[in-house]
Structure 1
Amino acid sequence: MEDKTASIRAVVIITGLIVVIIVARLSLKLSRAFFLIAGADIALILAVFVCLVIRECYNRRRKLLEKRLVSEGRELRVEYSFLRKVAGVPIKFRLKELEDATDNFRALLGQGGSASVFKGILSDRTSIAVKRIDGEEHGEKEFRSEVAAIASVQHVNLVRLVGYCCLPRGPRYLVYEFIPNGSLDHWIFPGNRTKNHPRGCLSFDLRYRIAIDVAKALSYIHHDCRSKILHLDLKPENILLDENYRAIVADFGLSKLMGKDESRVITTIRGTKGYLAPEWLLELGVSEKCDVYSYGMVLLEMIGGQRNVTVIENGSNKSQRKWQYFPKIVRDKLREGKVIEAVDRRLVGVGAVDERQVKRMVNVALWCIQEKPGLRPSMAHVVEMLKGRVPVEEPPDTQMIVVDLLSIDGEESGLQLGPKIAAMGLDCCDIPSSSSSSFAMSMLSGR
């Protein structure tokens, strides 16, 4: 457009100068003034021609450079796309791209305290799950934790970060690969029904394989990464199942990075009640053994097909309701030699359940939920035990302090809990009643 305008102006100027020469010739004849005007006009006409030639050369050179840059840019995009697929490098998305992929964030897959997850399809037909993290301060902290933890790791049982979108103000977005079969809780707990998730009842063999998959993922982030990664929010809702029912550990929003020489770090209590290790609840710092404890609690829920802490109502009288602690039931069944009775009832009557596998899973789970962190095995050792490569010894008897807490009325919640908690051997000397009460409430709270 600019080239066309410049050419029109040049033609108009040259035409005007020629008209001036003709008028000067007719009016001034061959006088000296005519020759001066004619010379000046011819000089201007030549100057306009020179400008047009220079502009045309400049335009040709510019177009060649643009073609070269476009070609090089295309090659760079192809190379970057190749490297991203090979190395798993996350890419930065524009908000408009995510809005188009998710149909303006309409397909809600799930929602948590500070984040929502939406299903989407990219322009190359890749299915994705977009996690929108709301809130400025908490959102920034969760966003950085998740990117730092998962962006640089590669494991078949860890969710893959495809990209991200970070705006100066407003929510932040993480783009993950879409896992078709949803989260584990929809496949092990009866009555857990939502329209956006597939559902069913997993066989015991699949549950056993999933237990190994999750153990492998945790072992990898604990022992095989440059910086030790603590997940700190392991629960069935954060374990996804792919099309082949292989486990994918997701949601690293609360994760922590530790140096190889660090044994424990201090952090605030932000995980899910019911899966938090006792030492974290007592604010004694966290380590990879907190993930081991959470894994043991998840393992027990997979075995029984029920939550570890449930309320048994006695009619309409709420004062007579009772708390049921599934780990204690499992421990008692193991002692009585009736461990098969702890298995999900939907599995016992339908398909074959290997009692040896059940016993092995129960023993591993009880090792993992030991109150003393030093007694819990590493996740690498858990993998070896579940695969049958090393014998699984009978775990020591645990205090299971939560059972005492469940039997205490609200008015007595601050009484005589210090000695009970101290008996766990968690290196705590003086525990005030307020801490004990907080511990009780944390253990008994729902999700």
Structure 2
Amino acid sequence: MEPRKAKILAGATFTGVLILILVLWLCLGPSKTFFLLGGIGVAVILSVLLWVLLQHAALDRRRMSLVRRSALEGNELRLEYSFLRKVAGLPTKFRYKDLVAATDHFQALLTAAPPAPSSKGYSRTAPRSPSRGIEGAEHGDHEFRSEVSAVASVQHVNLVRLLGYCLNPGGPRFLVYEYIHNGSLASWIFPSDRSNGSGERRCLPWPLRYGIAVDVAKALAYLHHDCRSRVLHMDIKPENILLDEGFRALVSDFGLSKLMGRDQSRIVTTIRGTKGYLAPEWFLENGISEKSDIYSYGMVLLELVGGRRNVMLVGDGEPSERQWSYFPKIVAEKVREGKTMQVVDERLLQPQGGGGGGGGVDERQVKTLVYVALWCIQENPKLRPSMARVVDMLEGRLPVDTPPETEMIIVDILSINDRPGAGAGAGPAGVGIGSMNYSFAASILSGR
């Protein structure tokens, strides 16, 4: 019986018995018959009260049973949902205070480079995970949702895995990635004061460089051809290529990524990326496509071969005596002269004891990488091979033809030339544009 009905019945019974006792008192007075009937009435009242109490106790037990059952079912659903999220590789939503605790208030800074700084942290949920903050008006809700959706929807052995994210109301937003042990490719191929821990400066051997070129090509081929919606990375550069403990390359940083429908040949958007790796179509207002990523990949290949920035200010002395050096132009000239090996990182040609990579440079592989790179940086996007074709060429399934000469009008667009002092105030001698970690975004306006 429902609790409300039980209370009404108990109240009616109690009232009726009291009225009956009162009537008996008036009619019989203090006689044996009155006390007998009164005792029966009191027993009835007590029985009804006991029945009501038992009904309430039974109802409480049923309620507790339902609560426990709901809690168990809820826990099972949460565990199952958590398991399915892990199996599917879906990101976890972290609390801001957990990230603060894991990163020791973001003290372990991995990089402060745009578009966002990265900090390393440790937690039971995401062990040794870098968290990257996204701040500023240009990195609002739209960019954050774009990055989370793009990274969460792709899973590949050569892509950095997104472990989770954090939405901090009124504050910065964070992405939590898996920690990649050996850092970025840039710290391994460009000459610097950084050592490998034994006092020797880092220099990646040639076999590893070639393997990295193949790994990155496979990652981009997956993004361009094997995803439900094509994903344009839009910021391919050595800083966004990480190396794990086995020196396998993983492409990272989808903060500027763009989804592209299968029926789209190109899209029009604001200029995004890093100066020195941008394809010419960014500046010519022709719209961009996956071929823009291919151009950036070709520029990275040249830096992988030469161990230097493609765009560098070289020379000593006064700023007016320095010159800009454009490596792709140098490579094209050396290929035309039949001197391809002269563009190889000179440290790789030194013996092991001389601080180099110990030799072992495969001339055929050098020629393959250089030719593929020159195909990828063609000014005409239609001449650039697809990333799937690039993978086939690097793995020897397709021949690599001699690339045609290209104008390299990007030299004029970036105001880079061979005149002494041109742009000399942009940086110190020997510093490349790419080494400044300079990313930017600018809108392209065109009249009707």
TM-score above 0.5, yes or no: yes
State the partner residue of 2:84. 83
- What's the TM-score, normalizing by structure 2? 0.78
C-alpha distance in 1 between matches for 2:190 and 2:434: 20
State the partner residue of 1:129. 130
| Structure 2 unmatched runs, 5+ | 1-28, 351-357, 424-432, 439-448
1:313 aligns with 2:315: yes
Q: Helix, strand or coil: the match of 1:392?
A: coil
C-alpha distance in 1 between matches for 2:344 and 2:43: 103
Contact map agreement 2:322 2:420 (CA 8 A) in 1: no
- Which residue identity lines up with residue 57 of structure 1 in the other structure? A
State the partner residue of 2:14. none
C-alpha distance in 2 between matches for 1:126 and 1:229: 28
State the partner residue of 2:112. 111
**What per-residue deviation string (whole Å, max 9, x for no partner) do you get for residues 171-200 of structure 1?**
21222211111111111111164999x982
- Which residue identity lines up with residue 211 of structure 1 in the other structure? A
Distance of aligned partners of 1:193 and 1:149 in 2 relative to their CA distance in 1, 3 Å threshold: same
Query: By how many angstroms is 1:68 displaced?
Result: 2.0
Could you say which structure has the greater relative contact order, defined with CA pairs below 8 angstroms and 6 or more residues apart? 2
State the partner residue of 2:408. 400
**What per-residue deviation string (whole Å, max 9, x for no partner) do you get for residues 289-309 of structure 1?**
100000000000111111001
C-alpha distance in 2 between matches for 1:411 and 1:298: 26
Q: Helix, strand or coil: the match of 2:85?
A: helix
| More displaced stretch, 247-256 vs 104-113 | 104-113
Contact map agreement 1:274 1:446 (CA 8 A) in 2: no
**What per-residue deviation string (whole Å, max 9, x for no partner) do you get for residues 388-440 of structure 1?**
11110110011123455423779999xxxxxxxxxxxxxxxxxxxxxxxxxxx
**What per-residue deviation string (whole Å, max 9, x for no partner) do you get for residues 147-185 of structure 1?**
221211111111112222223422212222111111111
C-alpha distance in 2 between matches for 1:117 and 1:444: 17
Q: How does 1:232-381 map to 2 (within 5 A)?
A: 232-315=234-317, 317-349=318-350, 350-381=358-389
C-alpha distance in 2 between matches for 1:326 and 1:224: 32
- Which residue identity lines up with residue 110 of structure 1 in the other structure? T
Q: Helix, strand or coil: the match of 1:173?
A: strand
Q: Helix, strand or coil: the match of 1:156?
A: coil
C-alpha distance in 1 between matches for 2:181 and 2:343: 30
- Which residue identity lines up with residue 407 of structure 1 in the other structure? N
C-alpha distance in 2 between matches for 1:310 and 1:346: 18
Q: How does 1:124-203 map to 2 (within 5 A)?
A: 124=125, 126-136=127-137, 138-191=139-192, 193=194, 200-203=202-205
* CA RMSD of superposed structures (Å): 3.3
| More displaced stretch, 86-95 vs 122-131 | 122-131
Query: By how many angstroms is 1:72 displaced?
Result: 2.1
| More displaced stretch, 202-211 vs 93-102 | 93-102
**What per-residue deviation string (whole Å, max 9, x for no partner) do you get for residues 68-103 of structure 1?**
233223322332232223211222222233233323
Q: Helix, strand or coil: the match of 1:406?
A: coil
Contact map agreement 2:196 2:202 (CA 8 A) in 1: no
Distance of aligned partners of 1:252 and 1:199 in 2 relative to their CA distance in 1, 3 Å threshold: farther
| Structure 1 unmatched runs, 5+ | 1-28, 414-441
C-alpha distance in 1 between matches for 2:103 and 2:64: 38
Distance of aligned partners of 1:170 and 1:43 in 2 relative to their CA distance in 1, 3 Å threshold: farther
4+ residue stretches of structure 1 with deviation over 6 A?
37-48, 408-413, 442-446
Contact map agreement 2:319 2:421 (CA 8 A) in 1: no
Contact map agreement 2:195 2:202 (CA 8 A) in 1: no
Query: By how many angstroms is 1:244 displaced?
Result: 1.1
Contact map agreement 2:322 2:421 (CA 8 A) in 1: no
Number of residue-to-residue matches in the alignment: 388
Distance of aligned partners of 1:304 and 1:148 in 2 relative to their CA distance in 1, 3 Å threshold: same
Query: Alignment partner for residue 389 of structure 1, among 397, 409, 412?
Result: 397
Contact map agreement 2:309 2:435 (CA 8 A) in 1: no
Distance of aligned partners of 1:109 and 1:288 in 2 relative to their CA distance in 1, 3 Å threshold: same
C-alpha distance in 2 between matches for 1:252 and 1:178: 16
Aligned-residue sequence identity (percent) comes to 58
Distance of aligned partners of 1:99 and 1:30 in 2 relative to their CA distance in 1, 3 Å threshold: farther
